[in-house]
Structure 1
Amino acid sequence: MPEHASAPSHLVDRDPQVTPQQMAAALVPPPQFADASFESYRPDPDYPSQAEVRDTVAAFVASGAGAAAPRRGLFGRRRSAAPEAGAKSGVYLDGGFGVGKTHLLAAAYHAASGRKTFGTFIEYTALVGALGFQGTVDLLRGTALVCIDEFELDDPGDTMMMTRLIKELSETGTRFAATSNTPPGALGEGRFAAQDFLREIQAMSDRFDTLRIDGLDYRRRAVDESAAVVPDVAAALPAGAVTLDDFDAVVAHLGTVHPSKYVALVEGLDAVGLTDARPFTDQTDALRWVALVDRLYDAQVRIVASGTPLDAVYPQSMLDGGYRKKYLRAASRVVALTRAA
């Protein structure tokens, strides 16, 4: 470790306490996207849908209605009845990881007028857990635009809760913008019986229009790289606020901290050091790690690691399952974070 660096602390010693008020106040774009705009979005010329979606989302925000969006539902199904003109209350950005969906979502947040919120799906569900459903409705009522990043339907309870929340808020004039790495028709696929919740899913889909974004992962456009590893993590840690822990110890610690607190867990850090990373054997541990990687990426916290490259910690059996795109997104992000200057 550089001589001018202070002694590292330990991530496993952090046990953040977050109040509902702090959770609500944190519903803003992460620092990485604090200045995101439609103008600063750089579409790949080889994939025209990127520029088209940018322009459609910009028009959605500027007009206050989704009339300019394609006539498709959130889950790609044909609507049983066409809604009244201007009745659609949201846009859903569907595409792979690394095509700029979160940038466009943050741009929509910054361009929107009036009260607005920005958070991941898990942050909104955690808010419901802290405030209760009606308390969350009361808090968000009157919001002009609610941005939901990384929309997920991994849990049937969360599915029904979010559909109710969208329904109640949209009926009072709130509009929505959402992103997901999973094609809308496959949300929940391989994780729970999505067909059992068809009524709730269809009710939500009628309020959104799907915008498909094609393209390559921008984090890997230039060169196909793996996550970097170092022989001596302590020596490679940069100066600043850093932590140093055994990889297995961090994974175990994540099981004691609710994922809604992972933002606070990494707050103020410049880098995290992880020794002896190795492949996962438990899917719950792997999913908690994915949630931590998302928060590290949002905060642009560098990762310095030894052992197995962190984009190779998911066995093929996990990659073949319903969480494949989550794992691939995390793999893409750790490549960027371990190679950050």
Structure 2
Amino acid sequence: MTTSLTSRFPTPAPGELVAQLVPPPRFQQARLDNYIPDPDYPSQEAAKQSLQQFASRLTAQPSSSRGGLLSMFGRKKGPAAAHGLYLDGGFGVGKTHLLTALFHIAPGRPLYGTFVEYTNLIGVLGFTRAVEEFSTASVLCIDEFELDDVGDTLLMTRMIRELSDRGVPVVATSNTLPDALGEGRFAAQDFLREIQAMADRFDVLRIDGLDYREKDRIDDPPQLADDQVRSGARGDRVSLDDFEPLAEHLREVHPSRYGAMIDGIERCHIVGMEQVSEHNRGLRLVVLIDRLYDREVPVALSGVRVPELFTEDLLNSGYRKKYLRCLSRLGALQADGARALV
């Protein structure tokens, strides 16, 4: 029987959230060996080599270096501050592939999550307990790093500094250089010292290139009618929702739980997609599409065309890169959904 996402209110326990700090299904097989750099963009090969060298240093590092060394006075000496990597580039150039490839070859206990998953977990565990939990990691991988508000800025910059001071390197991906985080969304200049202190913990790898998803996309996916989307929604693992109730439901579920909300869904059907003109609604939709994309869930849509989903005001705002990434990913998922029904 078809299910509805609006009927799902997941409440994972803190332990479950920590256990879920692993790469999503789409990237379970991502390795450096199967990352194929575009020869037209040498920065891709350079980034691949840098990740390999970084992983080699992690493997060669003695385990004792993270726990502290005995000094000549018999006291424990803390590890040197760790220096991480920051993968900067446009969407679709393989940053997440490289990040998850690092996770798979890192020694010890690597952790992987999106920015929103980490911030939520800190909220659930409390800052001190979260830092203690993360400090046992061999490397902390943060995908889709972005600072959308002042609170997140202070939280994440402090966490990165504390983990770095404990010898835990952080590797992050983003569409924005670390010293430009927050631009266009809040008064970043008021927090420049905090942002710069965080940026100093990274070596930046710029990755250029084209969106690889464009290669496999249907140029103009069939525009499905409402009845096609509804009639195609058959099966226990298929969801069917009208867009407006779904958009309202996303207000009631914390974005960090969107992944749990769609667990077990193999195809998502949404009827009556409407253009989005308000940031809060738009950003919640961005997170939902990210989680659907992570889990390789095709999406069958009716209503507004994907390129027209967000208004020009949203696309020209400080969140522009997030919205463009969402359109890229949703276009790929829509193509998969259209193939399933047409």
Q: TM-score, normalised by structure 1?
A: 0.89
Q: Partner amino acid for 1:151?
A: F
- Is the counterpart of residue 258 in structure 1 residue 254 in structure 2? yes
CA distance, structure 2, for counterparts of residue 234 and residue 327 of structure 1 = 27
- Is the counterpart of residue 180 in structure 1 residue 174 in structure 2? yes
Q: 1:323 aligns to what? A: 319
Distance 1:228 1:299, change over 3 A: farther
- Is the counterpart of residue 100 in structure 1 residue 94 in structure 2? yes
For the 8 Å contact 1:191–1:322, the answer to whether it is kept is yes
- Is the counterpart of residue 333 in structure 1 residue 329 in structure 2? yes
Matching residue within 104, 116, 119 for 2:110: 116
Q: 2:70 aligns to what? A: none
Q: 2:285 aligns to what? A: 289
For the 8 Å contact 2:300–2:334, the answer to whether it is kept is yes
For the 8 Å contact 2:221–2:334, the answer to whether it is kept is yes
Q: 1:215 aligns to what? A: 209
Q: Partner amino acid for 1:188?
A: G
- Is the counterpart of residue 59 in structure 1 residue 46 in structure 2? no
For the 8 Å contact 1:12–1:253, the answer to whether it is kept is yes
Alignment of 1:1-341 (within 5 A): 7-64=1-58, 88-221=82-215, 225-226=219-220, 228-231=222-225, 232-237=228-233, 239=235, 241-340=237-336, 341=339
CA distance, structure 2, for counterparts of residue 226 and residue 264 of structure 1 = 31
For the 8 Å contact 1:44–1:215, the answer to whether it is kept is yes
CA distance, structure 1, for counterparts of residue 164 and residue 117 of structure 2 = 19
CA distance, structure 2, for counterparts of residue 175 and residue 59 of structure 1 = 14
1:317-336 residue CA offsets vs partner (Å, 9 max, x unmatched): 11110000000000000111
Q: 1:75 aligns to what? A: none
CA distance, structure 1, for counterparts of residue 22 and residue 133 of structure 2 = 15
Partner of 1:311, secondary structure, is helix
Which has more helix, going by share of residues? Answer: 2
Distance 1:261 1:240, change over 3 A: same
After alignment, is 320-329 or 157-166 more displaced?
157-166
CA distance, structure 1, for counterparts of residue 26 and residue 159 of structure 2 = 28
For the 8 Å contact 2:81–2:164, the answer to whether it is kept is no
Partner of 2:252, secondary structure, is coil
Partner of 1:255, secondary structure, is helix
CA distance, structure 2, for counterparts of residue 286 and residue 32 of structure 1 = 23
Q: Partner amino acid for 1:20?
A: P
For the 8 Å contact 1:20–1:131, the answer to whether it is kept is yes
Q: Partner amino acid for 1:246?
A: D
CA distance, structure 1, for counterparts of residue 111 and residue 28 of structure 2 = 13
For the 8 Å contact 1:149–1:178, the answer to whether it is kept is yes
1:34-58 residue CA offsets vs partner (Å, 9 max, x unmatched): 1110001011111111111011111
Distance 1:238 1:36, change over 3 A: farther
Q: TM-score, normalised by structure 2?
A: 0.88
C-alpha RMSD of the superposition: 1.6
Residue correspondences, number: 315
Q: Deviation at 1:227? A: 5.6
CA distance, structure 2, for counterparts of residue 179 and residue 238 of structure 1 = 37
Q: Partner amino acid for 2:269?
A: G
CA distance, structure 2, for counterparts of residue 49 and residue 195 of structure 1 = 30
Q: Partner amino acid for 1:229?
A: Q
1:52-92 residue CA offsets vs partner (Å, 9 max, x unmatched): 10111111111139xxxxxxxxxxxxxxxxxxxx8552000
For the 8 Å contact 2:178–2:195, the answer to whether it is kept is no
Q: Deviation at 1:272? A: 1.0
CA distance, structure 2, for counterparts of residue 228 and residue 159 of structure 1 = 42
Gaps of 5+ in 1: 1-6, 66-85
1:93-112 residue CA offsets vs partner (Å, 9 max, x unmatched): 00000000000000000110
